[in-house]
């Protein structure tokens, strides 16, 4: 299977860079091929059936805890070298990392990502993606893995934009949303069917007291 790495000056990546510079977010409805989207969705479901997805927690470190009244998704972090489809996705996101560094001078050093499965009725209350005591997360990404998704299924990503404007993203397979981690409040609305995604963060180097 051919690699997914593309040059940092690819028009698709440049559109994302321009959107972030102008608005702080970008939505690309056709970012991934149908074939790779279906492969990633199948891998997520396979891991779920094997019991590998764990209830997601809120907070970090010693304060981390599972609170289903805040978020109800189940997750598993990706590791490179495990599955070809996941490696192709990670290669593509590294191309985006390079484009962001070229265009916005963000000093992004790595990318972390996990599968997220929301059972019917699950949600995630409004939040931002940057921890109070850790500012390494700079850019958030959400790649949806849901074929044949209809608006009546729910599960939209509701983003709170500037000037009190709200924007809903339908979680349709192949769609990618990218936004500034520390500046974009957002929430996941309940859905009537299982909702799959790959959520990730581009990170810069943090301050290390040691």
Extents of the domains making up the chain: 11-204
Q: Give 26-85 as a 3 state SS string.
A: EEECCCCCHHHHHHHHHHHHHHHHCCCCEECCECCHHHCECCCCCECCEEEECCCCCCHH
Dump pLDDT digits (tens) for 99-147. 999 999 999 999 999 999 999 999 999 998 876 666 889 999 999 999 9
- Give the three-class secondary structure for 123: coil
Give the model confidence (pLDDT) of 49-89 as tens digits: 999 999 886 555 544 554 556 888 999 999 999 999 999 99
Does the global pTM surpass 0.85? yes
pLDDT above 70 as % of the chain: 88
Q: Does 2.60.120.620 match the CATH number of domain 11-204?
A: yes
3-state secondary structure of 111: strand
Question: What pLDDT shows up at residue 210?
Answer: 34
Distance CA 17, CA 25 (A): 9
| 87 vs 5: CA distance, rounded Å | 10
Neighbouring residues of 135: CB distance < 8 A, sequence distance ≥ 6: 182, 206
């Amino acid at each position: 299977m051919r690699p997914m790495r593309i040059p940092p000056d690819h028009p698709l990546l440049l559109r994302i860079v321009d959107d972030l510079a102008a608005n702080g977010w970008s939505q690309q409805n056709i970012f991934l091929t149908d074939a790779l989207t279906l492969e990633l969705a199948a891998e997520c479901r396979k891991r779920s059936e094997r019991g590998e997805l764990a209830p997601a927690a809120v907070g970090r470190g010693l304060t981390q805890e599972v609170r289903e009244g805040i978020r109800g998704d189940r997750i598993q972090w990706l590791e490179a070298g495990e599955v070809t489809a996941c490696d192709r996705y990670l290669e593509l996101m590294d191309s985006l990392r390079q484009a962001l560094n070229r265009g916005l001078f963000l000093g992004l050093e790595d990318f972390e990502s996990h599968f997220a499965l929301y059972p019917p009725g699950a949600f995630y209350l409004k939040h931002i993606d940057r921890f109070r005591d850790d500012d390494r997360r700079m850019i958030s990404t959400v790649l949806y893995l849901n074929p044949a998704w209809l608006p009546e299924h729910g599960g939209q990503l509701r983003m709170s934009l500037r000037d009190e404007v709200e924007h809903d993203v339908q979680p349709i397979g192949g769609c990618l949303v990218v936004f500034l981690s520390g500046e974009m409040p957002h929430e996941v609305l309940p859905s009537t069917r299982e909702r799959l995604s790959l959520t990730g963060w581009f990170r810069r180097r943090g301050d290390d007291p040691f």
